[in-house]
Amino acid sequence: MRRRHLLGAGLAIAVVGMAGGAVAQEIKIGEINSYSLLPAFTEPYRKGWQLAVEEVNAAGGINGKKLVVISKDDGGKPADAQTAANELVSSENVAMLTGTFLSNIGLAVSDFALQKKVFFLAAEPLTDAITWSKGNRYTFRLRPSNYMQAAMLVEEAAKLPAKRWATIAPNYEYGQSAVAVFKKLMSEKRPDIQWVDEQWPPQGKIDAGPVVQAVAAANPEAILNVTFGADLVKLVREGNTRGLFKDRSVVSFLTGEPEYLDPLKEETPTGWIVTGYPWYDIKTPDHDKFLKAYQAKYNDYPRLGSIVGYQTIKAAAAILTKANSTDPEKLIAATEGLSMPSPFGEITFRKNDHQSTLGAYVGKTALKDGKGVMVDSVYRKGTDYLPSDAEVAKLRPQ
Query: 106, 64 in Cβ contact below 8 A?
Result: no
Average confidence score pLDDT of the chain:
94
Contacts 24+ apart (CB under 8 A), 56-60: 56/313, 56/314, 56/317
User: Has residue 151 got a pLDDT over 70?
Assistant: yes
Query: Do the beta carbons of residue 102 and residue 174 sit within 8 Å?
Result: yes
Comparison of pLDDT for 274 and 16, the residue scoring more = 274
Mean pLDDT for 359-377 is 97
- In a domain? residue 67: yes
- How many CA atoms, within 13 angstroms, populate the side-chain half-sphere of residue 262? 12
Give the DSSP letter string of 138-151: TEEE-S--HHHHHH
Same domain, 212 and 95: no
Establish if 2 belongs to a structural domain: no
Residue (of 124, 129, 137) closest to 315 by Cα position? 124
Q: Does one domain contain both 236 and 102?
A: no
pLDDT beyond 70 at 234: yes
Q: Average pLDDT, stretch 204-209?
A: 97
Q: Are residues 377 and 232 in the same domain?
A: yes
Mean pLDDT of 372-385: 97
**118/22 same-domain check:** yes
Work out the pLDDT band at 398, boundaries 50, 70, 90: low
Q: Are 374 and 278 in contact (CB under 8 A)?
A: yes
Residue 185 has pLDDT above 70, yes or no: yes
Q: Are residues 75 and 21 in the same domain?
A: yes
For the chain, percent of residues with pLDDT exceeding 90: 92
At 247 the three-state DSSP class reads: coil
Q: Which of 155, 160, 90, 79 is nearest to 118 (CA)?
A: 90
Q: What is residue 397's predicted lDDT score, i.e. its pLDDT?
A: 77
Q: Are residues 123 and 83 in the same domain?
A: yes
Whether residue 182 is found in the same domain as residue 217 = yes
Instruction: Indicate whether 196 and 278 sit together in one domain.
Output: yes
User: Which amino acid belongs to residue 187?
Assistant: S
**Residue 241 domain-assigned (yes or no):** yes
Q: How far is CA 167 from the centre of its chain?
A: 22
Fill in the amino acid letter for 64. Answer: G
Q: Which amino acid is at 57?
A: N
Distance CA 330, CA 111 (A): 20
33: containing domain: 11-144+283-358
Residues 46 and 133 in one domain: yes
Q: Name the more confident of 130 and 21.
A: 130
Residue 203 within a domain: yes
- Render 334-394 in DSSP notation, one character per residue: HHTT-EE--TTS-EEB-TTT-BB---EEEEEEEEETTEEEEEEEEEE-GGGGS--HHHHHH
Residue 56 lies in a domain: yes
Cα 209 from chain centre: 29
The total number of structural domains that make up the chain: 2
Q: Does residue 398 sit within a domain?
A: no
- Are residue 305 and residue 380 in the same domain, yes or no? no
- Based on the domain organization, do 161 and 140 belong to the same domain? no
Q: How many residues make up the chain in this entry?
A: 398
Q: Report yes or no on 391 lying in a domain.
A: no
Instruction: Let me know whether 133 and 20 are in one domain.
Output: yes
Instruction: List, in sequence order, the alpha helices (H) in 243-385.
Output: 258-261, 285-298, 304-323, 328-335
Q: Is residue 392 part of a domain?
A: no
Question: Domain with 288 in it: what CATH number?
Answer: 3.40.50.2300
Burial group, residue 167, by CB count within 10 angstroms (0-12, 13-18, 19+): buried
